[in-house]
Amino acid sequence: MKEIKATMAGNVWKVQVSKGDKVTLDQEVIILESMKMEIPISAEVEGIVEEVKVEEGSFVDEEEVLLLVKEE
Amino acid sequence: MFTKLLIANRGEIAVRIIKTCKRLGIKTVAVYSEADKESLHVKMADEAYFIGPPRVNESYLNMEKIIEVAKKAEVDAIHPGYGFLSENASFAKRIASENITFIGPTEKIIQKMGNKVQARKTMMEANVPVIPGITLIDTDERSVKKAARKIGYPVMIKAAAGGGGIGMQKVDHEEELMKVLATVIKKSETFFGSGEIYLEKCIYSPRHIEAQIAGDQLGNIICLGERDCSIQRRNQKIIEEAPATFLSEEGRTALHEAAIKAGKAINYTNVGTVEFLVDESEELYFLEMNTRLQVEHPVTEETTGVDLVEMQLRLALGNSVNEVEKSMEECNHSIEARIYAEDPVRFFPSPGTLLTWEFPKMEHIRYDFGVTEGTKVTPFYDPMIGKVISKGASREDAISHLIECLKAASVEGIKTNIPMLLQALESSAFQEGKATTRFVEEHIQK
């Protein structure tokens, strides 16, 4: 299982996938927003979204797990 | 003088304005969002009013709410600071219609300089040199490519209504042109509510030098010297200094004269900044005009002895520029370093709580801070949380004081750019005065 982590602290602006979705390597899955900056988070691996651990609008710390992806 | 002033801003600039008001005996009114309840500016002001949720459009950009507070608190003036509503012409107009003084130029001037296309046109007509460029009337592939070829690569694609480094992107090759154009248009529509775009020649390795001007209601314009703000990351300034070093006396005079010409062309009133790019041969190109107090205004204050906030207030009252007194001792050189709550390597924001925020007490150092120990730096606003300003008898002096100060500083709980500032200040390129706007990519992100 691959843990997709936040690269910076900030608010979850957009969650672009749900549980069961198939994702690809560079696919943008979540967009974080902090201090006027948007940081897209990509899936990093190919696989199926096992769990989305955050909601839009919630605050996350750097390194916090956002998503679990079951690698294929 | 005014009796009560509302500050439509937050953070370090609100604190900075309150300090001058206290010295002049003016009562201050702060406004704050849900995220700023415990902020320094709220504690320092005589009165503070809650204006809404953390999001800027529901609080610090909420014109009607701010005006409602101004009326309730019975203020006679509103200072917009920088950012937020400071360059919003309708805000200036609304305030005037309530018979409250807006600390800044008139609505018409703000409007004229706010649109970059119009500002360019105004400056061209006034014989102020501008960067060769073309406004895009059609955004079809053929017209855009033709325009870009005419200017010559690399070109900059810019949002007409843009600012603060947002809504501009460089294009090196024709293949990237249409893709980048689409991104800039989209950004411009989202952030500035307009898709108007222009293409501009990219001046490859310039210095960013700006002139501080001030105008009164009698039509007088003076120049209070220049600032070199070449050290930038993500098109935002991080280190600024006055005067600009390694600019010939002729170059300096030409820059001041061009700035005064720019001010006269629009009958500028109050304090403002004319930004230029300056290339290797000291050719000047008008970049934009900021019709407000600038973040880096302290280096001008330290080298001229003028309190620019006080000057703003006096000019708004109708005083002439010649009456404005010098209130501080002047020095020869001053450098400002902006402290950002961000990762010093990737420049990603780093919100969190300031567990430690310690800076040494030093004779040659001024601190303009918006935070103290224990402050929660939230993800809602700009990551700039404070400024350290050094002064010295020479540039070398100012640099060494600043380095000594930042080395002794201790910040815990969040990441800051202090290591990166030190790296920049200690680099030979900066110390030898060779820094251009490409400094960060050439000397920091090697």
Query: Domains of chain A (ranges plus CATH)?
Result: 2-71 (2.40.50.100)
Backbone angles phi, psi at B178, to 5 degrees: -70, -35
User: Which chain B residues are within 8 Å of A9, Cβ to Cβ?
Assistant: 349-352, 379
Q: Answer whether A47 touches B (CB < 8 Å).
A: no
**What's B326's DSSP letter?**
P
pLDDT at B190: 79
pLDDT at B445: 78
Nearest-Cα residue of chain B relative to residue A58: B379
CA distance A72 to chain B (A): 31
pTM, two decimals, is 0.89
Q: Answer whether A59 touches B (CB < 8 Å).
A: yes
Q: Compute the distance between CA of residue B207 and CA of residue B199 in angstroms, rounded to an integer.
A: 20
Structure confidence by residue, pLDDT tens digits, A34-56: 988 888 999 989 999 999 999 99
pLDDT-derived band of residue B168, with 50, 70 and 90 as boundaries?
Answer: confident
Whether A36 and B342 lie within 8 Å, measured CB to CB = no
Question: How large a percentage of chain B has pLDDT more than 70?
Answer: 98
Average pLDDT over residues A9-35: 93
Residue B163 has pLDDT above 70, yes or no: no
Do residues B17 and B309 lie in contact, with contact meaning Cβ atoms separated by under 8 Å?
yes
Whether A8 and B350 lie within 8 Å, measured CB to CB = yes
Q: Answer whether A57 touches B (CB < 8 Å).
A: no
Q: Catalytic site residues of B?
A: 292
Question: How large a percentage of chain A has pLDDT more than 90?
Answer: 78
Nearest-Cα residue of chain B relative to residue A40: B348
| C-alpha dist (Å) from residue B39 to A5, B12, B15, B33, B55 | 31, 10, 10, 10, 16
Structure confidence by residue, pLDDT tens digits, B371-421: 999 999 999 999 999 999 999 999 999 999 999 999 999 999 999 999 999
